[in-house]
């Protein structure tokens, strides 16, 4: 029997073309070879290169004046799973103008802005941050908590729109939160390239966090977990990075253990000024030491940032914030440079 006809043949061939685990999946050159470019982020302040957004539109019309509940001083619909912090329906034109101003600032900073669709009855789709977490080499698609009575109600389902868009772009999806896991991107942030932070709440459960931690562990990243107070949803109401080693902190809401972690990592922090609306912490770093910040929450914190050497790009985001989220919530970075 000849070699090529024998069972030994494939052993002889395959030992000459062995698989290679190195360089790893996240290697820049390997990413470019397989996926067309390097994807993902290393930290929360590197120069922003690609960001996912959803422009508010006709889906906002589900929020009507008859849904006002004086007990919480807001419009709310328990069945459709939304709320709006005002006694009147949204001014959609103003929301769009604010969102367009934000997009203009992102593009001015050198970022490619990618738009994603959303369900026609989902007024929270504008908060793209919660649907996807970018890590080194790819994306983790999240699993939203609120589920409405019908398809298109509540935030569950936004993940599908984002998954299709990310796949269309060619970005690798490293994990989709599944099973009973819950995880929303607004409660995740990078402290540095090797340390990430997650805030556990009723919108992020242990199983969702475990799945994210598996992805990060494969990349040598430590995940720090802290409990959020009460019914607080996301960590981006408490802390966000504004430079490589500087964070903006809402000192009234961060656990003391987190402050110890910042000290351990040699991260300095700037406290939100007591005179400002705490939502001012919900900003976005455009690059190290330069942030996009909503001035409608007061200007004392902006002045503090500037006094610490942080460049502030101010925009008005007041109408959009009535929907329950800020600039950080409205942007999902897909690519940041390392520097």
Closest by CA position to 200, among listed 210, 209, 191: 209
**Amino acid 339: pLDDT:** 75
Banded model confidence at residue 320, pLDDT cuts 50, 70, 90: very high
Residue 57 CA to residue 123 CA, distance in Å, equals: 8
Query: Are 291 and 44 within 8 A, CB to CB?
Result: no
Residue 244 CA to residue 277 CA, distance in Å, equals: 25
Residue 263 CA to residue 25 CA, distance in Å, equals: 32
Pair of tokens at residue 137: 């080499």
> How do residues 203-232 score in pLDDT, each as one tens digit?
999 999 999 999 999 999 999 999 998 888
> How do residues 169-207 score in pLDDT, each as one tens digit?
999 999 999 999 999 999 999 999 999 999 999 899 999
Residue 31 CA to residue 25 CA, distance in Å, equals: 7
Q: What is the mean pLDDT of the chain?
A: 95
**Amino acid 274: pLDDT:** 96
Q: Decide which of 79 and 141 is more confident.
A: 141
Q: What is the mean pLDDT of residues 258-269?
A: 97
Pair of tokens at residue 72: 């919480």
Q: What is the mean pLDDT of residues 284-309?
A: 97
pTM of the model: 0.94
Rg over CA atoms, the chain: 22
Residue 285 CA to residue 49 CA, distance in Å, equals: 12
SS3 169: helix
> How do residues 123-173 score in pLDDT, each as one tens digit?
999 999 999 999 999 999 999 998 988 888 889 999 999 999 999 999 999
Residue 46 CA to residue 270 CA, distance in Å, equals: 19
> How do residues 277-288 score in pLDDT, each as one tens digit?
999 999 999 999
First to last CA, the chain: 61
In this structure, which CATH number among 3.75.10.10, 1.10.3720.10, 3.40.50.450, 3.40.640.10 belongs to the domain 26-55+91-336?
Answer: 3.75.10.10
């Amino acid at each position: 029997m000849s070699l090529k006809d024998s069972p030994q043949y494939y052993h002889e061939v395959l030992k000459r073309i062995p698989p290679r685990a190195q360089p790893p999946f996240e290697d820049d050159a390997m990413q470019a070879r397989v996926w067309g470019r390097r994807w993902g982020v290393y930290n929360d302040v590197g120069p922003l290169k690609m960001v996912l957004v959803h422009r508010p539109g006709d889906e906002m019309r589900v929020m009507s004046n008859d849904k006002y509940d004086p007990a919480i001083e807001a419009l709310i619909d328990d069945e459709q799973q939304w709320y709006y912090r005002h006694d009147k329906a949204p001014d959609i034109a103003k929301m769009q103008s604010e969102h367009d101003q934000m997009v203009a600032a992102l593009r001015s900073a050198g970022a490619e802005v990618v738009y994603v669709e959303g369900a026609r009855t989902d007024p929270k789709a504008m908060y793209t941050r919660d649907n996807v977490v970018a890590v080194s080499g790819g994306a983790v698609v999240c699993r939203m908590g609120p589920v409405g009575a019908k398809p298109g109600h509540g935030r569950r389902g936004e993940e599908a729109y984002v998954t299709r868009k990310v796949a269309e772009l060619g970005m690798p999806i490293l994990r989709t939160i599944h099973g009973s896991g819950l995880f929303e991107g607004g409660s995740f942030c990078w402290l540095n390239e090797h340390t990430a932070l997650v805030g556990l709440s009723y919108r992020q459960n242990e199983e969702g966090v475990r799945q994210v931690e598996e992805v990060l562990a494969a990349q040598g990243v430590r995940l720090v977990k802290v409990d959020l107070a009460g019914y607080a949803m996301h960590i981006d109401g408490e802390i966000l990075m504004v430079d490589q080693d500087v964070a903006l902190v809402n000192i009234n809401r961060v656990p003391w253990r987190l402050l110890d972690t910042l000290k351990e990592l040699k991260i300095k922090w700037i406290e939100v000024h007591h005179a400002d609306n705490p939502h001012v912490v919900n900003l976005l770093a455009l690059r190290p030491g330069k942030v996009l910040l909503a001035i409608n929450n007061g200007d004392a914190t902006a002045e503090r940032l500037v006094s610490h050497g942080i460049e502030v790009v101010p925009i008005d985001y007041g109408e959009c914030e009535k929907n329950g989220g800020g600039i950080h919530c409205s942007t999902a970075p897909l690519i940041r440079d390392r520097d």
